[in-house]
């Protein structure tokens, strides 16, 4: 399976056994996370400006793609193949202007894209994605934890100016958030696309980190009846809940099946992934499964455990 080279930049240093470097895991997490967080350094202050300079982190919509390999935005790309990350924003936003400054100043990276494209200059940034699968409550807050899946991507961003690639990116970002939405909405006109900014992030390096299982109870607490008789321990399974569709005041059509099907799929998928995270790396179930959840379809999450 194709993987990112492990370097000092992307190596998971704490609890390294939880690290994962294969393309499929990183790409999947980027695409499954509704809101990505993008970190970058702002441009140097203007002359005479002595205000402190802070790194900037922005929440943004985005997803993976590979226009250079397959220009069809609806194509199912193999998760293990190299890709870029596309980010959506407003054309005049600060982040959208940074790559132009980097290129003009000659401070671009010169690194090639992870999708095999030729090297392109751009501004260095970091993209992170996190999905919370559970809150772990142990006997002491010191041992509390979370089940989660996270990915961090290091790359160099360039503004997408080619009209065909920009259409590809916004099409793919839209359908990544809500499948089939692009085909079931009025398409953006030229003026709307002109005010839409798209960044392509050429991936330089990346890694994922995943935590699964139940609470870890210290031996001293297991032997202490006053602790075990008074402290509840376990896991709160956690996932994003997609509510019932609520039509807008000006809506004039019946609820389309592609939306109801998507919501059903997201609800089932979120719960399934949260429940699957209750098994640790060795496959041991870290909680007592309620009797009613051992029966029927729910039992399928645990293979009948």
Greatest mean pLDDT range, 48-57, 128-137, 284-293? 128-137
> What stretches of 178-256 show up as alpha helix (H) in DSSP?
190-194, 219-222, 225-228
| pLDDT average, residue stretch 10-19 | 93
- CB neighbour list of residue 39: distance below 8 Å, 6 or more residues apart: 55, 56, 57, 125, 126, 127, 128
In this predicted model, what pLDDT tens digit does every residue of 82-141 receive, in sequence order? 899 999 987 667 787 776 555 433 333 333 444 444 445 789 999 999 999 999 999 999
Burial 207-228 (b: 16+ CB within 10 A, else e): bbbbbbbbbebeeebeeeeebe
Q: Does the pLDDT at position 48 exceed 70? A: no
| pLDDT average, residue stretch 5-13 | 96
Residue 15 in contact with residue 207, Cβ under 8 Å?
no
Q: What is d(CA 121, CA 126) in angstroms, rounded to the nearest whole number?
A: 15
| pLDDT average, residue stretch 277-286 | 92
Q: Does the pLDDT at position 229 exceed 60? A: yes
Residue 109 in contact with residue 122, Cβ under 8 Å?
yes
Provide the token pair at 14. 């704490």
Q: Does the pLDDT at position 290 exceed 90? A: no
The Cα-based distances of 242 to 238, 259, 305 in angstroms read 13, 11, 28
- CB neighbour list of residue 181: distance below 8 Å, 6 or more residues apart: 174, 175
Q: Which pLDDT score, from 0 to 100, does residue 294 have?
A: 58
Residue 242 in contact with residue 266, Cβ under 8 Å?
yes
| pLDDT average, residue stretch 280-302 | 72
Q: What is d(CA 38, CA 10) in angstroms, rounded to the nearest whole number?
A: 16
Q: What is d(CA 137, CA 216) in angstroms, rounded to the nearest whole number?
A: 9
Residue 112 in contact with residue 122, Cβ under 8 Å?
no
Block residue for tokens 């645990």: 302
In this predicted model, what pLDDT tens digit does every residue of 171-199 receive, in sequence order? 999 999 999 999 999 999 999 998 899 99
Q: How confident is the model at residue 81 (pLDDT cuts 50, 70, 90)?
A: confident
Residue 141 in contact with residue 215, Cβ under 8 Å?
no
Block residue for tokens 């896991």: 235
In the chain, what percentage of residues exceed pLDDT 90?
A: 73
Instruction: State the DSSP code for 152.
Output: E
Kindly report the pTM of this predicted structure. Answer: 0.87
Count the alpha carbons within 13 Å of 12 in the hemisphere toward its beta carbon.
Answer: 18
Q: Which pLDDT score, from 0 to 100, does residue 104 have?
A: 36
Q: How confident is the model at residue 158 (pLDDT cuts 50, 70, 90)?
A: very high
Backbone angles phi, psi at 245, to 5 degrees: -65, 135
Q: In this structure, is the dihedral angle defined by the CA atoms of residues 271, 273, 274 and 275, taken in order, positive or negative?
A: positive
Instruction: Name the average pLDDT for the chain.
Output: 88
Q: Which pLDDT score, from 0 to 100, does residue 100 have?
A: 58
For the chain, counts of helices (H) and of strands (E):
7, 8
Greatest mean pLDDT range, 70-84, 214-228, 289-303? 214-228
């Amino acid at each position: 399976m194709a993987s990112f080279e492990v370097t000092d930049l992307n190596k998971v240093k704490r609890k390294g056994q939880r690290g994962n470097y294969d393309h499929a895991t990183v790409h999947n997490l980027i695409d499954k996370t509704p809101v990505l967080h993008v970190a970058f350094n702002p441009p140097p202050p203007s002359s005479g400006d002595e205000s402190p300079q802070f790194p900037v982190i922005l929440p943004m919509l985005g997803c993976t793609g590979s226009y250079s390999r397959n220009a069809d935005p609806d194509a199912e790309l193999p998760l293990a193949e190299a890709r870029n990350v596309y980010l959506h924003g407003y054309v005049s936003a600060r982040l959208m202007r940074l790559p132009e400054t980097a290129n003009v100043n000659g401070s671009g990276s010169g690194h090639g894209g992870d999708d095999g494209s030729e090297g392109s200059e751009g501004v260095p940034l970091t993209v992170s994605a996190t999905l919370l699968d559970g809150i772990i409550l142990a006997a002491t807050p010191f041992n509390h934890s979370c089940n989660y899946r996270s990915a961090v991507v290091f790359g160099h961003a360039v503004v997408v100016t080619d009209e065909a690639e920009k259409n590809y990116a916004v099409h793919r970002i839209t359908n990544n958030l809500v499948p089939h939405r692009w085909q079931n909405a009025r398409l953006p006109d030229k003026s709307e696309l002109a005010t839409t900014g798209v960044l392509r992030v050429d991936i330089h390096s990346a890694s994922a980190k995943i935590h699964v299982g139940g609470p870890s109870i210290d031996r001293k607490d297991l032997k202490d009846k006053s602790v075990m008789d008074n402290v509840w321990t376990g896991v709160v399974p956690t996932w994003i809940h997609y509510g019932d569709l609520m039509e807008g005041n000006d809506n004039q059509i019946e609820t389309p099946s592609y939306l109801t099907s998507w919501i059903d799929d997201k609800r089932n998928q979120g719960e399934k992934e949260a429940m699957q995270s209750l098994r640790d790396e060795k496959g041991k179930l870290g909680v007592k499964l309620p009797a009613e959840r051992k029966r029927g379809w729910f039992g399928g999450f645990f293979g009948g455990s």
